[in-house]
Chains A and B, each alone.
Chain A
């Protein structure tokens, strides 16, 4: 084999590897941004859910005791990061307080403020469920790509920590008709 052939093969190999690395780096970067956006969206929906829980607790839906429990859990959730267990605690508090039956699905709220709050709560709860599913999808795709040898060898993920799924309890109370 001539030395020119060896150089040529090495060059082609180098170009292929650079192209693969460049493509993988682009995918990693885009998936990281997708995960960030998904966390932001989930945080927004969970914050809205906590605010609505606080409003419900102040609208005389429950007796004093469950009202206080929901208020405390909602305040904690408002301060918590989106993956925090405070959100699971709020879910549990709302389930224990037994959310009253809301207006039927799809029907716009007819009556007073309470119905409007329950209607909004159902809408926000659905969005929180959707946001968490989309987040976990993005996380699992990212983790799979980052476990590939090419990505690990060239440190394509840089210093970004490995994303983790969000596993809070968000099973809705039985009476809340979700979307």
Chain B
């Protein structure tokens, strides 16, 4: 099929939606589809060959952050030409309600359209005001995809239609082949416990991990909790007190560092208190071969196959978390068996499988 993908956010600044589109595009091309991505990008940005730059972006304050978008007559002309020259069988627009390339290409689209909603934010006032103007264009979308249950709820609340859930994929091989980062390499004397997630967001459960640490240290005095994530690192450090020597707060890390941390750590803990729709980091940890200990949330339980692929503990229970961490460290054989099962099971989240569903949606909408 000839597939046109529209990314409203600039490739100059990488982000979740851009990575998603890049990974889907690579997988579709590997399957022999002709793919072109229309995305904002400056002249200097190196781009994959399948990306058609739609010009520089303007920073716009939107929902409390600055979104880099582009529009205007020049962008409109480029979008129209891209559509005309592409002769697409399917146009796949991401985040279709952003006031930019997404809306422009929807306006000009003549072929069947699929749209993916990524965010679960509530629509801003501006958006609600603009909705009547773009409603006719949105009605061109024959198939709506949401990346999570939250995103699906947003679609239902604001547009009154349902969506098919297709989660983000993970590049399993990339995590499996990663080199362990020497800074965070766990050994039996100095095991590394990894935590990933925003530090200042209570529902990520860092507090539970910190409360569980003393009981782990009592048995394994060389253990270290490595905390990776954006937000309030200094404040977190200042509140550590006596634990300070056993906690390393590294702040936000790159994707390569994340893979290296997961690859080298002795155990990955996910003490989230709720609000998780999927748990992509669990999947990444399993792909990297890290033993997983996670709170018993519905989403985590299903990713970990009810405990067969990683240990589950009662949500918010620090004592249970420290017991699970010690069990993971002490019972090496059982842990190895779980990790082996997990690295097989995790394949179902690989992009190669997730892309099957995307193609199924394309074929359904195109009626082939």
**Are these two chains actual partners, yes or no?**
yes
- Chain A positions 39 through 80: 1 when the CB is less than 8 Å from some CB of chain B, otherwise 0: 011001100000000000000000000000000000000000
Which residues of chain B are near A127, meaning CB under 8 Å? 360, 363-364
Interface stretch (choices A22-30, A81-89, A109-117): A22-30
Distance between Cα atoms of A123 and B357 in the complex (Å): 9
**B contact set with A: CB distance below 8 Å:** 112, 135-136, 139-140, 142-144, 160-162, 164, 347-348, 350, 352-353, 356-357, 360-361, 363-365, 367
Q: How far is the CB of B143 from chain A (nearest CB, A)?
A: 5
The stretch of A2-10, A135-143, A166-174 that contacts the partner chain: A135-143
Min distance, Cβ A47 to any Cβ of chain B, angstroms = 12
Is the Cβ of A30 less than 8 Å from the Cβ of B142? Answer: no
Query: Which residues from A are CB-within-8-Å of B112?
Result: 37
Q: Is the CB of B142 within 8 A of A38?
A: yes
Determine if A149 is an interface residue (Cβ-Cβ < 8 Å). no
Q: Is the CB of B348 within 8 A of A130?
A: no
Bound: A130/B357 CA distance, A: 10
Chain B hits for A134, CB < 8 A: 142-144, 164, 364-365
| Chain B minimum-CB-distance residue to A144 | B160
CB <8 Å contact, B367 and A141: no
Q: By the criterion CB–CB under 8 Å, are A179 and B142 in contact? A: no
B-contact 0/1 string along A102-113, CB 8 Å cutoff = 001110000000
The 6 closest A-B pairs by CB, nearest first: A106-B353, A137-B161, A41-B367, A130-B364, A131-B364, A134-B143
Check A151 for interface membership: any CB of B closer than 8 A. Answer: no
**What is the interface of chain A mostly: helix, strand, loop, or mixed?**
helix
B residues less than 8 Å from A23 (CB atoms): 136
Query: Which chain B residue shows the least CB distance to A44?
Result: B367
CA of A41 to CA of B362, assembled, Å: 11
Point out residues on A near B: beta carbons under 8 Å.
23, 26-27, 30-31, 34, 37-38, 40-41, 44-45, 104-106, 123, 126-127, 130-131, 133-134, 136-138, 140-141, 144, 179
Judge whether A34 and B139 touch: CB under 8 Å. Answer: yes
Query: In this complex, what residue of B is CB-closest to A145?
Result: B139
CA A104 to CA B345, docked complex, whole Å: 10
Q: Take A106-B350, A130-B364 as given contacts and tell me if A30 and B356 are in contact as well, using a CB distance cutoff of 8 Å.
A: no
**Docked complex Cα distance between A37 and B111 (Å):** 12
Closest chain A CB from B247 CB (angstroms): 39
Q: How far is the CA of A43 from the CA of B143 in the complex (A)?
A: 16
Q: What's the least CB distance linking B166 to chain A, in Å?
A: 9
In the complex, the answer to whether B353 meets A130 with C-beta atoms within 8 Å is: no
Q: For the complex, give the distance between the alpha carbons of A45 and B366 in Å.
A: 12
- When chains A and B are docked, how far (Å) is the Cα of A38 from the Cα of B139? 13
The minimal Cβ–Cβ distance linking B24 to chain A, given in whole angstroms, is 16
**Smallest beta-carbon distance B91→chain A, Å:** 14
* Given A40-B367, A41-B364, A45-B364: A126 and B161 interface contact (C-beta under 8 Å): no
Residues A141 and B161 in contact in the complex (CB < 8 Å), given A27-B136, A34-B139: yes
Contacts of B356 in A (CB 8 A): 106, 123, 179
A44 to B140, CA, bound (A): 21
Contact of A179 among B144, B162, B360, B367 (CB under 8 A): B360
Question: Which of A34, A105, A123, A134 is most buried by chain B, counting CB atoms within 10 A of its CB?
Answer: A134
B162 touches A130 (CB 8 A): no
Give min CB distance, A120 to chain B, whole Å: 12
Check B350–A126 contact: CB distance below 8 A: no
A31 touches B364 (CB 8 A): no
B12 shortest CB reach to chain A, Å? 34
Cα separation A104 to B142 with both chains bound (whole Å): 30
Cα A27 to Cα B350 with chains together (Å): 39
Contact A37 B357 (CB under 8 A): no
Is B367 in contact with A137, judged by CB distance below 8 angstroms? no
**Nearest neighbor of A23 in chain B, beta-carbon distance:** B136
B367 partner residues in chain A, CB cutoff 8 A: 37, 40-41, 44
Give chain B nearest CB distance to A8 CB in angstroms: 26
